[in-house]
Structure 1
Amino acid sequence: MFMQGFGHPRSNAADIELVDKQNRLIFSTIVNGAFYNRLKKHPFISITGLKGTETMNSVAVTVNGKVEEVNDSYMDQIYQAHPEMVEIDSADSRSSRSTLRPFAITPIDGSVYDLRQKPVFQKHFNF
């Protein structure tokens, strides 16, 4: 989530596509989009992943970190690991290999909220 202008939150969908040798989380976004511009202006990010089909059998993990645009060679790795990227390129006229830029998230801290167990498990952690 990102606070923009007057404190209004903004969120974006991003697919974590790789983990590199430094344990950074790698994703890509289009260079001509609002998400890209926000990341360049504010290099911090908070991401949450949720697993479960119902509230009481779900677990959420949040990671907060610093984000930076990284070397374009990551795009080769992303396309190799995710061949569906070619299909996405053909389905979205704004997105193609040439318009995507890779970013790395260096984790700072995070939390776990697990409703699958009783009592509910909550834990904050640092990297």
Structure 2
Amino acid sequence: MIDDDDDHEYSPIETLIINDCIRLDEINDILSYFPNLHRLSIDYLDVNLKVQYLNFNHFEQLIINYFQQVTSLYLSLRHDVDHLNANRWQQLILNYMKNLKIFDLYHIDIKRFDNNNSKTNIS
């Protein structure tokens, strides 16, 4: 169908089951193409997130509420050392991410030297 007002295609489908692997960034396209969607089931969802200034408590709720079925999780994090707590990750994965097969965590903590040769964080 074509919406004459904004020339975007959309579908009246209300239930969609995807039995293939998709990326998290593709979900927005799916949701915009299926505005009447009431149920979405995805068997294999790969999540690739770049997180900056999201504390671990909020991130944990995001995982618990939306990503319990994730099979692959790729994270790029900046600055927040709370995300480096191995015990919290272990509990989160064991309790809420039972389908997780790939976990890739990349952490960046950029530091520089000021004129006094002491380390300072770059914001």
Query: Higher RCO, 1 or 2 (CA under 8 Å, sep at least 6)?
Result: 1
Both structures adopt the same fold (TM-score exceeding 0.5): no
Normalised to the residue count of structure 1, the TM-score between the two structures is 0.25
Please identify which structure carries the higher helix content. 2
Please identify which structure carries the higher strand content. 1
Radius of gyration: which is bigger? 2
Normalised to the residue count of structure 2, the TM-score between the two structures is 0.25
